[in-house]
């Protein structure tokens, strides 16, 4: 499967760190493009094409692809080269299950530790989510809500005051980002998501850590009929390997 590349060709300049610096820069750009859906699961990554795009030799490109492979974002296949990883249904379920539990822990800690300033920022972001939800009619507007939603969750991570936990859940969120975007394109899901946000903020403000944990776990998890609909959309868009 092929996908469109970023229209603005980016050149990675080498600094004193030479090839390693170039490789890290390329890795970061490609990771961002995988996370935001510009490079979709199944897309091939050609070394020669990437070297030309970034203005480097194939050596740092090869190293960047190796790093992405180590993190699980791409797969290195014989005769096919590098391909953006497509998660199996089983793996998707596992990762969503893990993320829902991590989000629940962040929420419980935030209910105990959030400051007045952080709570005010969360309320402001809730209003921005409301505006994005009201305007969400097509896929572009759905992506705008996704961005507002991501910031909303990041504020909860910050309010848990546990940097290690926040970094872990952020890493997992980025890994699942292309698939989470599809959740918000399902009919009625944005409205449901915003209503859940409101309840989450109220529970955090009340300091009800048990309620916050339950709300966030259910908010993030994919289950029941919603799971079947979501999985159908994943298979239709990405051709997820598994069933």
Domain ranges for the chain, please list them. Answer: 18-84, 89-238
Task: Return the residue matching tokens 């993190």.
Answer: 71
Q: Which CATH architecture has domain 89-238?
A: Up-down Bundle (1.20)
Q: Among 171, 181, 199, 187, which residue's Cα sits nearest to residue 226?
A: 187
pLDDT band at 77 (very low <50, low <70, confident <90, very high): confident
pLDDT band at 20 (very low <50, low <70, confident <90, very high): low
pLDDT the model gives residue 5: 41
The residue among 37 and 12 whose pLDDT is bigger is 37
Compute, in degrees rounded to 10, the torsion defined by CA atoms 217, 221, 225, 229.
150
**Poorest-pLDDT segment among 36-45, 87-96, 206-215, 229-238:** 229-238
Name the pTM for this structure. Answer: 0.74
Which of the listed CATH numbers 1.10.10.60, 3.20.20.70, 3.50.40.10, 1.10.10.10 matches domain 18-84? 1.10.10.10
> 18-84 with 89-238: one CATH topology?
no
Tokens matching residue 36: 């935001």
pLDDT over 70 at 222, yes or no: no
């Amino acid at each position: 499967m092929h996908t469109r590349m970023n229209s603005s060709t980016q050149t990675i300049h080498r600094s004193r760190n030479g090839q390693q610096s170039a490789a890290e820069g390329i890795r970061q750009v490609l990771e961002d493009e995988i996370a935001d859906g510009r490079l979709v699961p199944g897309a091939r990554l050609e070394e020669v094409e990437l070297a030309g795009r970034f203005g480097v030799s194939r050596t740092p490109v090869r190293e960047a692809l190796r790093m992405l492979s180590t993190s699980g974002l791409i797969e290195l296949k014989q005769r096919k080269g590098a391909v953006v990883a497509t998660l199996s249904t089983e793996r998707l379920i596992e990762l969503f299950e893990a993320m829902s539990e991590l989000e629940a822990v962040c929420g419980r800690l935030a209910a105990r530790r959030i400051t007045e300033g952080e709570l005010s920022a969360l309320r402001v972001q809730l209003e921005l989510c409301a505006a994005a939800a009201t305007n969400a009619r097509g896929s572009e507007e759905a992506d705008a809500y996704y961005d507002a939603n991501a910031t909303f969750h990041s504020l909860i991570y910050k309010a848990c005051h546990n940097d290690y936990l926040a970094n872990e859940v952020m890493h997992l969120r980025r890994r699942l980002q292309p698939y989470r975007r599809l959740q918000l394109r399902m009919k009625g899901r944005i409205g449901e998501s915003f209503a859940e946000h409101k309840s989450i903020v109220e529970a955090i403000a009340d300091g009800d850590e048990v309620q916050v944990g339950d709300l966030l776990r259910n908010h993030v998890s994919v289950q029941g009929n919603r799971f079947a609909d979501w999985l159908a959309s994943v298979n239709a868009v990405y051709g997820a390997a598994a069933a």
